[in-house]
Amino acid sequence: MLTQKIGRLMACTVTRQAHRMLTEQEIKVTNKAASRLKEVVDNGERLRLEVDGGGCSGFEYKIRLDKKINNDDLLWKSSENGAEIVVDELSLGFLKGATVDFVEDLMKSSFRIVNNPIAEKGCSCGSSFAPKMD
């Protein structure tokens, strides 16, 4: 029983260490986004960035708060306030070099992915994009 618990704890530590940190070249996060994120997260929550098929340009961003972290996730941590962002490997392929910002305008206030060097064309609501393909 005790050994099982220890085993699980150890497994937990091991997976946590396995998450590679995102570099500055992979994801940039504005100060505004980082401080807003710190305000909105509950304990243990992180901002999850995902790319999925859909939307009027073919691929759309999905941004949500998530407590889970999976094996293929990559992690970003704010050096200022410790807020965390996770991206899975598949989605990162469509996001490399993009910036996470927090935008407040008349339409909505939200985290948004801007300046994505892979996106060729976005739709007017900003939630979907067409990547530059091959």
Partner 1 sequence: MSTQRLIKLPHRVLLKLHGSDTNAFLQGLITNDVTKLQTQNGLAAFLLNTKGRIVEDVLLWRRGTDDLFLECSKENKTILTKEILKYRLRKQVEITESSDQIFFTEDVSDKQAHRDPRFSGFGARVFGNPSSSEVSENREKYENLRRSAGIAEGSQELAELLPFQANGDLLNMVSLDKGCYVGQELTARTAHTGVIRRRILPFECEGQVKIGAEVLDEKKNKVGKIISSDTTRCLGILQLSSFKSQKLTADGVSLTAKQPEWMPDKILANNKTRTSLTDS
**CA–CA dist 130, 33 (Å, integer):** 24
Minimum CB distance to partner 1, residue 15 (Å)? 20
Chain length of the chain: 134
56 binds partner 1 (CB under 8 A): yes
Minimum CB distance to partner 1, residue 92 (Å)? 12
Among 27, 47, 49, 55, binds partner 1 (CB under 8 A): 55
- Residue 89 — φ and ψ, nearest 5°? -60, -40
Among 34, 60, 61, 87, binds partner 1 (CB under 8 A): 60
- Residue 23 — φ and ψ, nearest 5°? -90, 165
Among 3, 39, 42, 53, binds partner 1 (CB under 8 A): 53
Is the CB of 59 or the CB of 102 nearer to partner 1?
59
Secondary structure element (H or E) that encloses residue 102, with its range: strand 98-104
Among 57, 78, 99, 110, binds partner 1 (CB under 8 A): 57
40 binds partner 1 (CB under 8 A): no
Q: Summarize as ranges the residues that interact with partner 1 (CB under 8 A).
A: 51-60, 90-91, 121, 123-124, 128, 130, 133
